[in-house]
Amino acid sequence: MEETQVSSPVPANGVLPESCAVLHGRFPLLWNCRSLCVTSFFSCCLCNCSPCRKTALPIKFFSRRNNTSRTTAHRTHRQVPPTAEQRVVRDNRMSWLVVFVPLFLMACASEPASALAPGSSRVELFKRKNSTVPFEESNGTIRERVVNSFRIPTLVNVDGVMVAIADARYETSFDNSFIETAVKYSVDDGATWNTQIAIKNSRVSSVSRVMDATVIVNGNKLYILVGSFNKTRNSWTQHRDGSDWEPLLVVGEVTKSAANGKTTATISWGKPVSLKPLFPAEFDGILTKEFIGGVGAAIVASNGNLVYPVQIADMGGRVFTKIMYSEDDGNTWKFAEGRSKFGCSEPAVLEWEGKLIINNRVDGNRRLVYESSDMGKTWVEALGTLSHVWTNSPTSNQQDCQSSFVAVTIEGKRVMLFTHPLNLKGRWMRDRLHLWMTDNQRIFDVGQISIGDRKFRLQLRPVQG
């Protein structure tokens, strides 16, 4: 499919006009990019105000009707600019609708933009080789311990409390090291943060680890699924068997209180529950070995089911994906019957117009997107706009990457957002983070939202609205 794009000039200083930032500053951020304020990229795609016309991003448009591409301006989405009173109401309603968390990988993290738009702020929650967590020693004493690296981030809103979850990788950034699940939470819109270790590892060896958290929020509770390992030093997919593996589910409960006009919050964590007993020895004749969550944020479906995307390794090391769900608020869990092709991993799931959509990483190939209208019993590959745009590196033999994939409502319009690096440098570099937006009929490549070619990812999470 051929692809063309149109673009309009961007101010030389890389900052949106103040009127545009004020008018469209409805999206609180923890990050913004050098060339264009991310706070207003939705508006540049969805409205026709004068500032947005002057600073429009390059837009790629794909028509689902005939699978051909054409270009369009955003003028087809004309809106009347809101009054000041309307803006206040909308700001309150949309507060923390979409947030971005940088994942600081390996040896570097992205640098901030030179200027922040009005109403935006930048917070570095987990700083490599600098941030500390309350580490419990074997004798029960607690000390602040510096963490080498934080990876696999998720940011959620739990009953008005912002909660950030990440792997605390104490000694190195690698997967096979001493790792626990760290949590930071804020009840005052990010002004102050408390830090906890939500899930400790078993402390059996120097490579004891709980890792790769996948998080569901339901009411005032967080359901965190992690993989636990103690002795193995290679990738979970390469283990000889599942003897060193245990999938753990931990539930946290947020409690808020108010005194003297100030709101405070605490998170209490239950004991880890092993889900290993429910894991079948085979699926349709495929001998299974281990499973972990898709990582990142999972969902509560419209029917109330808690839904985790999971990735499963068979005895030969091949990986495929499916969903695991609960119909009784997490008391019991079932694996859906349908599955992806082999080679799919790190799935992200959302619900769209009554269907589940699962978006899969595929190393050395384009991402595979599936749809299911029967809670994962059957899956059909999505061959429309989604599969045409959301691909990995143009170099077909490179490693792919975890992505972020969410559905949100913007100005009454339901859309899906997706972030993914272009990986132009190949292998594990994961550079040039891009963001896409679609209503499942048209796709907008919003463009690069990272600075330069730095190596990092962003976690998207809708938290209200």
CATH of residue 268: 2.120.10.10
Do the domain assignments include residue 182?
yes
Tens of pLDDT, residues 147-162: 999 999 999 999 999 9
Do the domain assignments include residue 438?
no
Do the domain assignments include residue 66?
no
Do the domain assignments include residue 133?
yes
Contacts of 337 (CB under 8 A, 6+ apart): 376, 377, 378
pLDDT reported for residue 401: 67
Do the domain assignments include residue 26?
no
Closest C-alpha to 391, from 97, 3, 107:
3
Top pLDDT among 292 and 455 is at 292
Do the domain assignments include residue 320?
no
Q: CA 394, 400, 406, 410 torsion: positive or negative?
A: negative
Please, which pLDDT band fits residue 309 given cuts at 50, 70 and 90?
A: very high
Tens of pLDDT, residues 109-129: 333 333 455 666 667 889 999
Mean pLDDT of 370-374: 96
Q: What is the number of structural domains in the chain? A: 1
Top pLDDT among 461 and 108 is at 461
Closest C-alpha to 422, from 399, 441, 443, 440:
399
Do the domain assignments include residue 333?
no
pLDDT reported for residue 385: 64
pLDDT reported for residue 426: 55
Tens of pLDDT, residues 74-121: 333 333 444 444 433 333 333 333 443 333 222 223 333 334 556 666
pLDDT reported for residue 458: 45
pLDDT reading at 178 higher than 80: yes
Do the domain assignments include residue 446?
no
Residue type, 186: S
pLDDT reading at 32 higher than 80: no
Mean pLDDT of 133-144: 96
**CB 402 within 8 Å of CB 296:** yes
Residue 420 to residues 112, 405, 450, Cα–Cα distance (Å):
19, 9, 10
- B/e letters for 183-213, b = 16+ CB within 10 Å, e = fewer, are bbbbbeebeebbbbbbbebeeeeebbbbbbb
- The domain of 138 spans 126-278
Rounded distance between C-alpha atoms, residue 209 and residue 227, angstroms: 8
Mean pLDDT of 336-353: 95
- Beta bridge partners, 146, equal 132
